[in-house]
Amino acid sequence: MLEQILKQKEKEVVALHERYGSDLRARAEAYVFSTDESSKAGALTAGPSERTEGRSLKRALKSVAEGSDIPALIAEIKRKSPSKGVLREAFDPLKIALDYETAHVQAISVLTDVPFFAGDPAFVSLVKRVTRVPVLRKDFIIDSIQLYESVLIGADAVLLIVRALNEEQLFTLYTEARRLHLDVLVEVHDLPELKRALLLPDAVIGMNNRNLNTFETTLETTYELLPHVPKDRLIVSESGIRTHEEMRMLKQRGVHGVLVGETLMRASDLVQAVYKLRHGHSTGAHGAATST
């Protein structure tokens, strides 16, 4: 499946180059580095008028590193997946984002892949406008032009999947993303991939508990990789997290954040679902969730 997705991404990258050429890079750089507000008009969508420097994924992960018995929660907005099909029939990214904001999640992950996950790059701008937390663009990034697009739709962070990239691609994309002031979640699934990720200075390590070949999930993936990560690195456990107890165990083992998608997308009440993940039980009424 990953190979099929990457072939589609290659076509999308060609289309982006044909549509924008070098203009997209110039617009992204102006958006990031210029102090002239007129340059902000280069955004691809009607997103925020300026980049919000305070929206740092790293800072969000560190903010709950101490004083909490659970990791930071990166809540995902995802309509469907290749392995599970449609996850949320009544899919409204605006309402989902507002519910996550009400529930005080630390960050929001937005699937932007169109053919396989029914996402849309425009969802990032939509979420950014109505929330105050960092927004992670989750897609299969294989070319710098996707980073420029990410900047212009308002992403604060992007995902780089080690398995999808060769050594040169991984280093080049990571370096360019950091130059553009994007935080980067570098995703790994096994020890060889982790060793490659650790060569990237200060990268946030995402441990994907889902096997991208079989799509099966197990938290043992995170537990097996944790001993190989230096103490000064930020770690996010991705996929397969369903309960408060699992979150507590991950925090005790040294995980700084968790990325939760399917569990939340299948919930009828997102605010209650977030609260239950954090506390192990529901609140008495909708909307009563508090930050942790």
Predicted confidence at residue 285, as pLDDT, reads 52
170-203 confidence digits (pLDDT tens):
999 999 999 999 999 999 999 999 999 999 999 9
Please identify which of the residues 76, 149, 246, 262 carries the catalytic annotation. 76
Predicted confidence at residue 290, as pLDDT, reads 45
Q: Is the pLDDT of residue 105 over 70?
A: yes
Please identify which of the residues 9, 125, 144, 187 carries the catalytic annotation. 187
Please identify which of the residues 237, 239, 262, 276 carries the catalytic annotation. 239
Give the residue from 173, 190, 152, 185 showing the smallest Cα distance to 74. Answer: 185
Residue 76 annotated in active site: yes
CATH architecture assigned to 2-45+55-279? Alpha-Beta Barrel (3.20)
Residue 208 annotated in active site: yes
Find the mean pLDDT for residues 114-124.
Answer: 97
Please identify which of the residues 9, 78, 80, 251 carries the catalytic annotation. 78
d(CA 254, CA 231): 8
Residue 63 annotated in active site: no
Q: Is the pLDDT of residue 49 over 50?
A: no
Indicate the angle between helix axes 93-102 and 270-279, nearest 10 degrees. Answer: 40
Average pLDDT, the chain: 90
Please identify which of the residues 9, 80, 128, 138 carries the catalytic annotation. 138
Least confident of 32-46, 192-206, 231-245: 32-46
| Residue showing tokens 């197990």 | 218
Residue 101 annotated in active site: no
Predicted confidence at residue 65, as pLDDT, reads 64
Residue 78 annotated in active site: yes
What amino acid occupies position 61? L
d(CA 105, CA 52): 18
Q: Where are the domains of the chain?
A: 2-45+55-279
Please identify which of the residues 109, 208, 209, 237 carries the catalytic annotation. 208
pTM for the full predicted model: 0.91
Asked if 217 and 209 touch (Cβ cutoff 8 Å), the reply is yes
Q: Is the pLDDT of residue 288 over 50?
A: no
